[in-house]
Structure 1
Amino acid sequence: MIKISTPGRICFFGEHQDYLGLPVIAAAISRRIQIEGDRRQDDQVILHLPDIGQKEEFSLSQSEQYGKSRDYFKSTINNLRRRGHHFSSGFECTVRGNIPINSGTSSSSALIVSWAHFLYLMSDNPANYSPKELGEIANAAEVLEFGEPGGMMDHYSTAIGHVIYLESRPAIHVEALTPKLGTFVLGDSLEPKDTLGILARCRYGMEAVIEKVQQYDSSFSIFTTPAEQTREYSQLLTQDEMSLLIANLEDRDILLEGKDLLSQTQSANGNADTDTRFGELLYKHYLNLRDHKRTSTPKIDRMMDAALSAGALGGKINGSGGGGCMFVYAPEKAEEVAEAIEKAGGKSYIITVDEGTRLEA
């Protein structure tokens, strides 16, 4: 019997920036998905999913034919086969978890990382993959296999764990950060996310702004142009386009300050100045997401206000937005903050930064 668990994740800095090629800083959280199971005597693959009242069942010989558009359980097997793994028998397992589902905390990616970790150990020729490699396998199975628009943040952060800094351009670069952070409170608005609507504005809208600005000023770069320089484009862009541009450049700079803070101060918990500044940076990012990228909702705004009034130092909406989760940094008064979020209509979870995917004893 093998049991694997993998965490969900929150994004500290760089929300709605990774698809523009900008870096992100993300953290694994202490809410996880577990897969527990063993080999069978036949070639059947059976997954019990009691949390959602479902069951997946297929034979290994059928795994190359996808039965639905996002057949992740089969695609992970196929990706491992392409890496040289063989499966002479099937397996039966149960999937359970306590990560909020469809709320921006990467429950799907955590599931596929757990599944990839479970599968390679179940193969006839198990390898010794690093957490980074497991993240890449899961990304290939969930994103690349089906041509979906997703970056590497979710898979790397859930597989590697703790806090990571991730660059995607000019090449993939992952850096582990090791700040000793205190307690967070995750708040689920219980509202469905508006992923497609938010992407239409935040991604495709911003890509159109970049193209328009570069036609006017070929030296413009979202990576290096100072935020103050955007004044030169005020006659070129609409007020809405200027809002998006300024927010993205400010969020880029907020991330850089956040990385410096998390990299140089390895004992943030208990350091009041560092805790306060970290909270302020999270909240600055939230304001840009709320006011300029419009990813928040009135309910999430009420949850944020309630959390701050109860003692949280700052926070932001998490994930694609238009619903889903927010989180706040609350190294003190976490229980009071959690209660305030509940009174504002959300579902709260007290969480800490956690390690990545692991084989449980």
Structure 2
Amino acid sequence: MIISRTPFRISFFGGGTDYPAWFRENGGAVLSTAIDKYCYISCRYLPQFFEHKYRIVYSKIENIKVIQDIEHPAVRAVLTWLKCDKGLEIHHDGDLPARSGLGSSSSFTVGLINAIMALSGKYISSAELADCAIHIEQNILKENVGSQDQIAVAYGGFNRVEFKTDGTYDVTSIILPPERKQMLESHLMLFFTGLSRLSSDVEKTKINNYKNREVELRKMAEMVNEAMDILNGPDRYMLEFGKLLDEGWRYKKSLSDMVSMPVIDQIYDAALKVGAIGGKILGAGGGGFLLLFAPPENQARVKEQLKDLIHVPIRFENSGSKIVLYQPSGLV
């Protein structure tokens, strides 16, 4: 039995510039962090006496004889790409719901690759994990996804990622004094809107609109460096981080009519009225989790104002995708 644990992530700035259609011509940059909420994938070789060869357990259960008949697209793609000819049982569990803007799809893909490679006795680095997941999602599944999620959850930590026109990227860890990092964490609030969506559908509308939004996308990439200046400045500048999130959210909404909707705008405006400084819908938009930046002294009012939503306390996470149980013989 192998169990991988892969974090979810929140993206602060630069989302949208991590799409190959954009950064291969213009370059791109994002600022994001992994958080202490996880996707767990357990994997073991399936004994031969079962009628089925593959058993996949997630929101549904699939008992399948051949890989091509697996309905879960990421599982089918990964098993095909890795040429998994031995019978497998795969279970998925997550701390937070899928399709919610926290990079859950990439956490699943990264975690599955990590688990299967470990089961076969192979170590795979964070860079290889990210690259493999990007290849699976973009080239095999042909999904409308960027490249930041796979990197964020494979590496873990609080990072600046720069995307280059030649298709490569650099990951730079953000080093902050512990008290400064804690100050940033203490200003962040995460709420589940209860709305889920297929991010690929939203992202497709953004990609189709890239040529008309070059000014906005360049500004969103520049915000990564602006955010770094704020984080490295005096404590009194911390509120500027929230104001920059608000500015970035307004640019993000301009990329597609599907990024927001009236109910999301109402929730966001209600939070600002009681003390939040800024925020954004995470991921593609259209629902999922709302990230808010609010001074600690205002957060009780924000929670009361948004009492119909689920508040999820979070902390930054540093380890990235890892194997938390390694018993390849299947014996406990």
- Give the Cα separation in 2 of the matches to 1:71 and 1:197: 16
Counterpart check, 1:109 vs 2:106: yes
With 316-325 and 292-301 compared, the bigger mean Cα shift is at 292-301
Aligned to 2:314: 351
8 Å CA contact 2:30, 2:224 repeated in 1: yes
Q: 1:35 aligns with which of 31, 41, 44?
A: 41
In structure 2, what is the equivalent of residue 223 of structure 1?
A: none
Q: Separation in 1 of the partners of 2:302 and 2:113? A: 34
The residue matched to 1:360 in structure 2 has which SS? Answer: strand
Over residues 191-231 of structure 1, what are the superposed CA-to-partner deviations in whole Å (9 max), with x where a residue is unaligned? 34475774465322232x3xxxxxxxxxxxxxxxxxxxxxx
Greater relative contact order structure (CA < 8 Å, 6+ sep) = 2
Going from structure 1 to structure 2, the CA distance change for 1:40 and 1:200 (only over 3 Å counts) comes to closer
Offset from partner CA, 1:129-183 (integer Å, 9 cap, x none): 1112112222222321122232211111111112222233223222222342414
Q: Is the 8 A contact 1:185 1:338 kept in 2?
A: no
1:145 to 140, 144, 167: 140
- CA 192–71 in structure 1, closer or farther in 2 if over 3 Å, else same: closer
Inter-partner Cα distance in structure 2 for 1:358 and 1:197? 30
The answer to whether the aligner puts 1:58 opposite 2:27 as a matched pair is no
- Deviation (angstroms), 1:47: 2.3
Deviates more, 1:148-157 or 1:300-309: 300-309
Of the two, which has the highest radius of gyration? 1
When normalised by structure 2's length, the TM-score is 0.80
- Taking the TM superposition and a 5 Å limit, the aligned residue runs for 1:237-248 are 244-248=213-217
- C-alpha distance in 2 between matches for 1:178 and 1:340: 34
CA displacement, residues 293-345 of structure 1 (integer Å, 9 cap, x when unaligned):
542222222322333344444211211113232201346258626624633x4
Q: 1:72 and 2:41 equivalent?
A: no
Are 2:129 and 1:134 equivalent residues in the alignment? yes
Structure 1 CA distance, aligned partners of 2:42 and 2:198? 33
Pair 1:308 & 2:272 matched: yes
CA distance in 2, matches of 1:196, 1:40: 33
Contact 2:14 2:221 in 1 (8 A): yes
Matched with 1:26 is 32
- Say whether the 8 Å CA contact 1:310–1:340 is kept in structure 2: no
Unaligned runs of 5+ in 2: 326-332
Aligned length: 305
Identical pairs, percent: 25
| Unaligned stretches of 5+ residues in structure 1 | 82-86, 210-243, 266-270
CA distance in 1, matches of 2:203, 2:150: 20
